[in-house]
Amino acid sequence: MCRKVIEAKDGGRDTLEVWGDGTQCRSFMYIDDCVLGIDKIMHCNELIATPINLGTSEMISINELASLAEKIGGVKLKRKYILDAPKGVGRTQQRQHDDQEHPELGAQHPDQ
């Protein structure tokens, strides 16, 4: 999304293409937190061959992400929603991170 905003601004375009309706949600995290989480998972014998969702509990919609990227980029773009494009998991089916599922990883909560 950030790349799309930059390309639109640099290219003098006023439209931002959004796959889906923009209500689908995602969880984002800082790369340092991601690397730390991967390291903990890799060094935890109890989790061998166990599926893990590494993320945060804070969800942001694609529309919210687009607005944030526009604000940072100092531009306001018209949204062109591509409703037949792949959109992944929507609000009603969002994947939710649950750090209580694997307490052995020592989940950290910076806001607490």
86 close to 19: Cβ distance less than 8 angstroms: yes
- 26-79 per-position pLDDT tens digit: 888 999 999 999 999 899 888 888 888 888 888 999 999 999 999 999 999 999
Which helix or strand (DSSP H or E) is residue 39 part of? Answer: helix 31-42
Q: How many CA atoms lie within 13 A of 78 on its CB side?
A: 5
Helices first, then strands: H and E counts in the chain:
3, 4
* pLDDT for the residue numbered 83: 94
Q: What pTM, to 2 d.p., does this model score? A: 0.69
- In three-state secondary structure terms, 85 is coil
89 close to 22: Cβ distance less than 8 angstroms: no
pLDDT higher than threshold 70 for residue 17: yes
